[in-house]
């Protein structure tokens, strides 16, 4: 009976997690409800959770150390608990590690998410005026509060599809349609950041195909796709390509003179972060102090075309600025433990996810955007080592 109950809880939590994932691309509020249900069910199925945590003990330890360290620095800086929510998600979402997904389920999950995402895009006017480009075209943010979050999610699932198509040599219609949809949705966001991850991911897929894959596809195919992708962005008129060309017009000495508002603000934020880190390398300045310090800095320089924020759009500088350099070291240890796997195919997929995560964090402070960091954490936990329950 205990085994039946455990299997039932496992299946229901799997369904709840599936609905969380799919509704990420239709309605975030509904998505969060299913995520909470999945977490509660994983807690209730405590035996499976305990055994799974036990075989991932190194990852669990580093997450606990990270949480304790962040909490200690928060006390030191008198940081409100509301500023720490996203940093606790590595620990709070840990029960999801007991949920198991096979490759076939992952492919179906991504396909259904792609169809739902396309339906949402169509219903919300994402394609309106696209035939008149560059007139009447707007950045599509999908179900996210900011376009870059949605772009990172779509680009990551696009890369997972390429993993199955190229590395696993699974050229099924399901994978091809999913890849095509998420590439289109990524382009609609007009976001530059994920291009970094896509480039390095294709290079890594080429390396992995040459080193580990047993399929007969040439490892040069990902390089060819990369060449076509970059060439298309630069030659064919498209909003992502146009925004990419603006990166060449940087003015690091005086960011306020940069015409493009996004590049202007990001350049200033990075300069501000580096400047403050120099004097607060070990302990940081506390997350609740960034916006007020930035406001004071902007006002003292008479800069009015840059908005002060509570993060600096680069996760690695951001966490050092908030909690000191040691926090970055511990976070890096978590990342190393997340990609550990004895199974080569799983390790390749985990490495691709890490490339996308790290690349996205170069241009986004993801711990300041709960949908983004939760999405990545869930994907990583889904692929961690599992243990098969023995019959009672």
What pLDDT sits at residue 18?
96
Percent of the chain with pLDDT over 70: 90
Exposed, middle or buried: residue 132 (CB in 10 Å: 0-12, 13-18, 19+)?
exposed
Mean pLDDT of 85-92: 94
Is 50 exceeded by the pLDDT of residue 326?
Answer: yes
What pLDDT sits at residue 254?
67
Q: Do 217 and 209 contact (CB within 8 A), yes or no? A: yes
Span of 87-96, 177-186, 227-236, 265-274 with lowest mean pLDDT: 227-236
Residue 4 pLDDT level (bands cut at 50, 70, 90) = low
What pLDDT sits at residue 197?
95
Residue 385: how many CB atoms within 10 A of its CB?
14
Is 60 exceeded by the pLDDT of residue 149?
Answer: yes
Is 80 exceeded by the pLDDT of residue 61?
Answer: yes
Q: Which residues contact 306 (CB under 8 A, 6 or more apart)?
A: 255, 256, 264, 265, 268, 298
What tokens does 185 get?
A: 């949705």
Q: State how far the Cα of 193 lies from the Cα of 137, in Å rounded to an integer.
A: 19
Is 50 exceeded by the pLDDT of residue 244?
Answer: yes
Average pLDDT, the chain: 89
Is 50 exceeded by the pLDDT of residue 392?
Answer: no
Residue 89: how many CB atoms within 10 A of its CB?
18
Is 50 exceeded by the pLDDT of residue 391?
Answer: no
Q: Do 114 and 177 contact (CB within 8 A), yes or no? A: yes
Mean pLDDT of 371-384: 94
What pLDDT sits at residue 233?
81
Q: Do 263 and 249 contact (CB within 8 A), yes or no? A: yes
247-303 pLDDT tens trace: 666 666 667 677 677 788 888 898 999 999 998 999 999 999 999 999 999 999 888
What pLDDT sits at residue 368?
82
What pLDDT sits at residue 304?
86
What pLDDT sits at residue 55?
94
What pLDDT sits at residue 205?
95
Mean pLDDT of 295-315: 89
Is 80 exceeded by the pLDDT of residue 138?
Answer: no
What pLDDT sits at residue 104?
93
Q: Do 366 and 372 contact (CB within 8 A), yes or no? A: yes
Is 90 exceeded by the pLDDT of residue 366?
Answer: no
Mean pLDDT of 75-93: 93
Is 70 exceeded by the pLDDT of residue 245?
Answer: no
Q: State how far the Cα of 74 lies from the Cα of 58, in Å rounded to an integer.
A: 24
What pLDDT sits at residue 390?
46
């Amino acid at each position: 009976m205990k085994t039946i109950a455990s299997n039932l809880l496992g299946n229901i939590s799997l369904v709840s997690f599936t609905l969380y994932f799919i509704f990420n691309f239709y309605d975030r509020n509904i998505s969060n409800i299913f995520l909470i249900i999945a977490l509660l069910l994983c807690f209730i199925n405590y035996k499976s959770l305990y055994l799974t945590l036990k075989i991932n003990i190194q990852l669990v330890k580093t997450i606990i150390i990270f949480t304790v360290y962040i909490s200690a620095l928060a006390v030191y800086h008198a940081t409100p608990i509301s500023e720490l929510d996203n940093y606790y998600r590595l620990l709070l979402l840990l029960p999801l590690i007991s949920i198991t997904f096979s490759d076939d389920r992952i492919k179906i999950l991504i396909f259904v998410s792609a169809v739902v995402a396309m339906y949402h895009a169509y219903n919300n006017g994402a394609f309106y005026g696209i035939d008149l480009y560059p007139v009447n075209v707007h950045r599509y943010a999908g179900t996210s509060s900011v376009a870059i979050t949605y772009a990172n999610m779509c680009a990551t699932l696009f890369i997972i599809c390429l993993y199955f198509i190229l590395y696993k040599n699974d050229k099924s219609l399901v994978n091809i349609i999913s890849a095509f949809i998420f590439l289109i949705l990524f382009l609609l966001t007009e976001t530059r950041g994920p291009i970094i991850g896509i480039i390095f991911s294709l290079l890594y897929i080429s390396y992995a195909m040459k080193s580990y894959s047993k399929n007969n596809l040439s490892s040069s195919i990902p390089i060819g796709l990369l060449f076509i992708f970059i060439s298309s962005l630069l030659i064919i008129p498209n909003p992502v390509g146009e925004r990419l060309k603006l990166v060449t017009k940087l003015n690091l000495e005086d960011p306020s003179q940069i015409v493009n508002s996004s590049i202007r603000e990001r350049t200033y934020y990075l300069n501000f972060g580096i400047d403050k880190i120099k004097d607060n390398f070990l302990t940081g300045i506390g997350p609740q102090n960034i916006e007020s310090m930035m406001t004071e800095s902007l006002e003292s320089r008479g800069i009015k075309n840059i908005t002060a924020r509570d993060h600096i759009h680069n996760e690695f500088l951001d966490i050092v600025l908030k909690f000191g350099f040691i926090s970055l070291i511990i976070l890096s240890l978590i990342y190393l433990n997340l990609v550990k796997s004895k199974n080569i195919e799983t390790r390749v997929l985990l490495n691709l996810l890490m490339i996308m995560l790290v690349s996205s964090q170069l241009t986004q402070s993801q711990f300041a955007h709960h949908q983004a960091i939760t999405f990545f954490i869930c994907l990583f936990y889904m692929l961690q080592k599992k243990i098969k329950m023995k019959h009672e």
